[in-house]
Chain A
Amino acid sequence: MLLLPRMSSNLARLLLLLLFAFSICDAVALPGPISDRHRSAALELFAPQHGSFASLEESYEALRIFEILAVREKPDVRATTCPKVLENLVSSTPLKDLFYALKVNGILKCKVNGDIFKDIASRLKATVKDAKTLVDLYYSIGSLLLIKDQASDVDVLLADADGTFHSIKALSQSDGKWRYTDKPESSTYAAGLALEALAGVITLASSEIDQSRVNLVKNDILKLFDSIEKYDDGTFYFDEKLVGGHEHQGSISTTSSVVRGVFAFAAVTSGKINLPGDKILGLAKFFLGIGIPGDAKDLFNQIESLALLESNRISIPLILSLPASVYSLSNKDKLKVRVNTVLGSAAPPLTVKLVRAFSTVAKDSAVIQNKDLKYDQNSGHHVLDVLPDEVDVGIYVFVFEMVLHDADGEKVYATGGQIHVPIYVTGIVKVSNAEIAVLDNDLGSIETQKTLDLAGNDIVSLSANHLQKFRFSFQLTTPRGHAFKPHQAFLKLKHETKYEHIFVVGNAGKKFEIVLDFLGLVEKFYYLSGRYDIELTVGDAVMENSFLRPLGHLELDLPEAPTSKAPRLPPLAVDPYTRYGPKAEITHLFRTPEKRPPTQLSLIFLSLTLLPLIGFLVGLLRLGVNLRNFPSSAAPATYAILFHLGIAAVLVLYVLFWLKLDLFTTLKTTALLGVFLLFVGHRILSHLATTSAKLKSA
């Protein structure tokens, strides 16, 4: 129950995966075989750091890829890697490192002492007997196999091959998967490891393994393939759910592990494993469909699995690919088809037959039937010489079939039956008879009519009001003379305030026509009168001359918007470049100080103000002022003088106060002086009073 949503989401994921590699069509475009792009990707991904690879596993992967793809510019890492290999070819190294060291040695063929192999072999044989986990068994059996190839004199045969076979088989599940250990979680990846290990056991057995056991394993393989996942275009793959305790293997690792296991097993057993050819072809399509992986391990898994698929005992897939699926009638391209093996080598002699070709809009009638493609020796392509005249521009589906010259080849090769390929036939669509007219609404009579050459650059200038209609028409003809309906036929009216309105131009046969009745469009146009630019866009996937052409202007006079129902104009986009920018500078205008009179005027008036004082003094003199009343005796005179001095002191104090003193000091001093003045003044005034009283009485 839990598996089902997983699988459907896996399907969804694979859909996505394939969509990255292919364009989005009904029948998905075909992946091509391995090409030079893979070779350059291999060099890029497996670039040694400081002359050597990070680990023995990576060294093996790099060297194996360079070997399979026959990469010419491969880096020479022999000098740095061989010492590492020798280092690890000791009994005490962990099984995994030993395994990869032997693998690397198998390719590089470093000089290794024969005794080392003997040493390791005996240890490995002991490990095989005692091993508890599938992974240990896998590495030890694999290492023994490698030693067998590299040192023929060392005895690597297993004493108890049957027992080992049994212990590996015991870990299998009923659905074809295997367990890693006694723990119940099963894994498809483990199945691949187990099958490879079993194949190794069969090779290393001193005496032949019981055929019934081998057949049981063959059944396991068939059951495993029952759980294969597939996509609609015939791609098959294996995927894995998360197994606790082990690294999560994606679909590429899992599928390549199964491929390694199954083909290793098939290579060492007699008799056929009845795996249907379309599943093998589906696996090949899966690996080719990845394109060029960006991860080194994924690239290795892809290339190694394809190498195993290239020549195997079950069924060899043949890949049909088209270098181009877009053909131009105007360029008179020829349809070319290639058939290769997965690694890009030549296919066995065969003929590619075009069973039928039909248009996607008329699926029942075929435009081409039963044509054989000619094989061109020089380029290796199968070529369709000429497309018959019935083939017009449009989207077609071509159905191909491979017919092998050798009748027995059907059993060896998987061709995939009928292959549907979408083909785009493009051409130049003729645009003609373009006419623009402004019609009066009620009568339908033409007020202005102009013809346009849409191939040229001329434009028209029209005017209309809301009571009139606008009509535009043109014709489209395919190269073969039929009617053509493009996917995109838009007429756009753009107002000077940047509001746009788009209309689809409909057609009846070859003739395309659109009539705009402005009376009904007044509200849609937001009651905006003024100049509208007219633009026509016509385009289609199969039209080589799709165009966007300005047709001219239309001065449109619409009535005023009624104030009760004023249309709300939708907001227009603000140009982002003008949105941000520095603001205008502001400087504060200071309050102008009051206009002052010129200093000279003030000085003049200062002197004028002092004039009355002088006038006062003069007047006093004229009046004959005297100081005869000034007391003559000493004491009153002193008091008089002191009194006046006191007054003067107070006045001077006041002047000082004005100049710099503060009020508190002044008041204090004034108080003191005041007391003094009071005393002195009293004295003098009383003296004066008595003097005058004496005078009066006298």
Chain B
Amino acid sequence: MSKKLIVLFLGLVPLLCTCFSPDTPSDRRVLVLLDDFAIKSSHSIFFNNLKSRGFDLDFKLADDPTISLQRYGQYLYDALILFSPTIERFGGSIDAAAILDFVDSGHDLIVAANGNASDLIREIATECGVDFDEDSSALVIDHSGYAVSATEGDHTLIASDDFIKSDVILGSEKIKAPVLFQGIGHSLNPSNSLVLKVLSASPSAYSANPKSKLTSPPSLTGTSMSLVSVVQARNNARILISGSLSMFSNRFFRSDVQKAGSPTKHDKSGNEQFVTELSKWVFHERGHLKAVNVKHHKVGEVDEPAIYRINDDLEYSVEIYEWSGKTWEPYVANDVQVQFYMMSPYVLKTLSTDNKGYYFTAFKVPDVYGVFQFKVEYERLGYTSLSLSKQIPVRPFRHNEYERFIPAAYPYYGAAFSMMAGFFIFTAVHLYHK
């Protein structure tokens, strides 16, 4: 499944993202597909939060026959939210393939499933790299990490605090209260390098039907089971997949939470902070990098030469910015590296920075000649990947760039001139001696 994903993306990587403009990568128009308009009301805090950040939300029923993602080849929306776990077939011109094309063209997606998720939603999740439990009546149960509640006794409402350690995905402020979750779990294919577990289940959690006894061990257990995952595709489209739609609901946002076995009772669950920060990441308000102004030149010069000579000293600089949702802010890191590459890197250096987004370094051109590339391949957890490459040829010395008079050859010079002098004397002596 992940192989399918990889092939799908590799085949479409040349189709660079043409969705939002590269200058303002935040999404603007979002299509929200719901099973029922009651969801619009019961999840209103989440939607109002998105609206206050400047998104245009378009609410439609998932089987509304007038919905479509694109018209005449142009996409009508920049992002899609699927809050319709039970939908068997979408209305209008949307189907699983259309949604995957939407994502392949660089747009973002949020998918929420639930205990009665339909096969269609499961199929979409599988195409994105995430496998929900095949048992359709299974829910995530945790008898040691459930949320203490006077009304929910079957331990399917769990309080989870096993977050991914990434400030760019979850924000710099720590989420203190656990997150309430009630729904289905999923597993990630270990060979898929694009998908990340944002909220993992606790070691005692498992996925099973709470009403029937277990005869064989469940397929999803423990921390390898993920509750909320994100996928960052190679074209920098971001997908959020959550096994619980109620995680986004007003009721969970407002609820207090106490994890079983812990004495602290938090007045407000971490759901609102978690979902808000995650939605900021998914919609490219954080962690979206761009690299501009790649410059290289010989030390002491300003213009970019068309060709370098071996053993030249050169300087390379690049500017990297991060989109903050409204403007491009300088990106500060100390692990951006540049490679001087021809079939394999000859030089790999870490770029120094002035903390204002300007990265630079200087090195000596190797004494191998050929066509090299300046390659910056920057991939960090939660950040869009930067892949820059600039070709530059390197020539060997010209015949007149070598040492002119080699001290080691002085005897030979001396010999040659001595011969010439001797010749001249000889001619005189030979002719006029008697």
Interface residues of A in 532-554 (CB under 8 A from B): 537, 539-543, 546-548
When C-beta atoms are compared, the residue in chain B nearest to A601 turns out to be: B408
- B280 contacts chain A at the CB level, 8 A cutoff: no
With a CB–CB cut-off of 8 A, which chain A residues contact B115?
A: 19, 24
With a CB–CB cut-off of 8 A, which chain A residues contact B337?
A: 582-583, 585
For B144, give its contact among A12, A546, A688 (CB under 8 Å).
A546
Contact A596 B408 (CB under 8 A): yes
Contact B153 A291 (CB under 8 A): no
- B300 contacts chain A at the CB level, 8 A cutoff: no
Q: Mark A499-538, 1 if CB is under 8 A from B, else 0.
A: 0101110000000000000000000000000000000010
- With contacts A504-B214, A504-B217, A629-B434 taken as known, whether A596 is within 8 angstroms of B41 at the C-beta atoms is no
Contact B191 A571 (CB under 8 A): yes
Docked pose: A293 CA to B40 CA in angstroms = 9
With a CB–CB cut-off of 8 A, which chain B residues contact A590?
A: 311, 364, 366-367
When C-beta atoms are compared, the residue in chain B nearest to A422 turns out to be: B153
B: contact size bracket = 35 or more
- A610 contacts chain B at the CB level, 8 A cutoff: yes
- With contacts A294-B45, A590-B311 taken as known, whether A23 is within 8 angstroms of B152 at the C-beta atoms is yes
Interface residues of B in 151-201 (CB under 8 A from A): 151-157, 164-165, 182, 188, 190-191, 193, 196-197
- B149 contacts chain A at the CB level, 8 A cutoff: yes
Docked pose: A654 CA to B413 CA in angstroms = 13
- With contacts A23-B152, A487-B141 taken as known, whether A295 is within 8 angstroms of B424 at the C-beta atoms is no
For A613, give its contact among B144, B412, B422 (CB under 8 Å).
B422
Contact A630 B432 (CB under 8 A): yes
For B37, give its contact among A25, A250, A547 (CB under 8 Å).
A250
- With contacts A586-B348, A588-B347, A606-B411 taken as known, whether A541 is within 8 angstroms of B153 at the C-beta atoms is yes
- B421 contacts chain A at the CB level, 8 A cutoff: yes
For B154, give its contact among A298, A424, A547 (CB under 8 Å).
A424
With a CB–CB cut-off of 8 A, which chain B residues contact A630?
A: 432
When C-beta atoms are compared, the residue in chain A nearest to B417 turns out to be: A655
For B381, give its contact among A294, A422, A580, A605 (CB under 8 Å).
A580
Contact B428 A644 (CB under 8 A): yes
Interface residues of B in 230-256 (CB under 8 A from A): 245-246, 249-251, 254
Docked pose: A553 CA to B175 CA in angstroms = 35
Interface residues of A in 471-487 (CB under 8 A from B): 485, 487
Contact B411 A609 (CB under 8 A): yes
When C-beta atoms are compared, the residue in chain B nearest to A648 turns out to be: B424
Contact B154 A25 (CB under 8 A): yes
With a CB–CB cut-off of 8 A, which chain B residues contact A324?
A: 150-151
- A70 contacts chain B at the CB level, 8 A cutoff: no
Interface residues of A in 585-633 (CB under 8 A from B): 585-588, 590-591, 596-597, 599, 602-603, 605-610, 612-613, 616-617, 620, 625-630
- B215 contacts chain A at the CB level, 8 A cutoff: yes
Contact A295 B40 (CB under 8 A): yes
With a CB–CB cut-off of 8 A, which chain A residues contact B246?
A: 20
With a CB–CB cut-off of 8 A, which chain B residues contact A627?
A: 428-429, 432-433
With a CB–CB cut-off of 8 A, which chain B residues contact A596?
A: 407-408
Q: Mark A292-326, 1 if CB is under 8 A from B, else 0.
A: 11110010000000000000000000000011111
Contact B366 A543 (CB under 8 A): no
Docked pose: A12 CA to B86 CA in angstroms = 8
Docked pose: A576 CA to B217 CA in angstroms = 27
Q: Contacting chain A: which of B128-136, B204-212, B319-327? A: B204-212
Pick from B40, B190, B204 the residue with the most CB of A within 10 Å. B204
A383 to chain B, nearest CB (A): 15
Interface size on A, residues (CB 8 A): 103
Docked pose: A503 CA to B144 CA in angstroms = 19
Docked pose: A21 CA to B433 CA in angstroms = 129
Docked pose: A293 CA to B366 CA in angstroms = 68
When C-beta atoms are compared, the residue in chain B nearest to A291 turns out to be: B251
When C-beta atoms are compared, the residue in chain A nearest to B203 turns out to be: A548
- B16 contacts chain A at the CB level, 8 A cutoff: no
- A246 contacts chain B at the CB level, 8 A cutoff: no
When C-beta atoms are compared, the residue in chain A nearest to B48 turns out to be: A294
- With contacts A582-B335, A651-B424 taken as known, whether A395 is within 8 angstroms of B153 at the C-beta atoms is yes
- A29 contacts chain B at the CB level, 8 A cutoff: yes
A490 to chain B, nearest CB (A): 6
With a CB–CB cut-off of 8 A, which chain B residues contact A572?
A: 190
- With contacts A504-B216, A586-B346, A628-B432 taken as known, whether A291 is within 8 angstroms of B42 at the C-beta atoms is yes
Contact B40 A591 (CB under 8 A): no
B348 to chain A, nearest CB (A): 4
- B224 contacts chain A at the CB level, 8 A cutoff: yes
- B293 contacts chain A at the CB level, 8 A cutoff: no
Docked pose: A682 CA to B246 CA in angstroms = 114
Docked pose: A417 CA to B162 CA in angstroms = 46
With a CB–CB cut-off of 8 A, which chain A residues contact B410?
A: 602-603, 605-606
A503 to chain B, nearest CB (A): 6
A335 to chain B, nearest CB (A): 12
- With contacts A487-B141, A574-B190, A605-B411 taken as known, whether A292 is within 8 angstroms of B150 at the C-beta atoms is no
- B53 contacts chain A at the CB level, 8 A cutoff: no
- B315 contacts chain A at the CB level, 8 A cutoff: no
Docked pose: A627 CA to B368 CA in angstroms = 60
- B307 contacts chain A at the CB level, 8 A cutoff: no
10 new A-B contacts, CB < 8 A, other than A20-B38, A294-B250, are A250-B37, A290-B42, A540-B143, A582-B337, A585-B350, A586-B347, A590-B366, A590-B367, A627-B432, A628-B433
The 9 closest A-B pairs by CB, nearest first: A294-B44, A539-B143, A424-B153, A546-B143, A324-B150, A13-B36, A588-B366, A605-B411, A502-B217
- Cβ contacts A to B, 26 pairs, < 8 Å: A17-B38, A250-B37, A252-B38, A294-B45, A294-B47, A324-B150, A487-B141, A487-B210, A502-B218, A542-B153, A577-B165, A577-B381, A579-B381, A582-B335, A582-B350, A585-B337, A586-B345, A587-B363, A596-B408, A612-B418, A613-B418, A627-B428, A627-B433, A628-B434, A629-B432, A640-B432
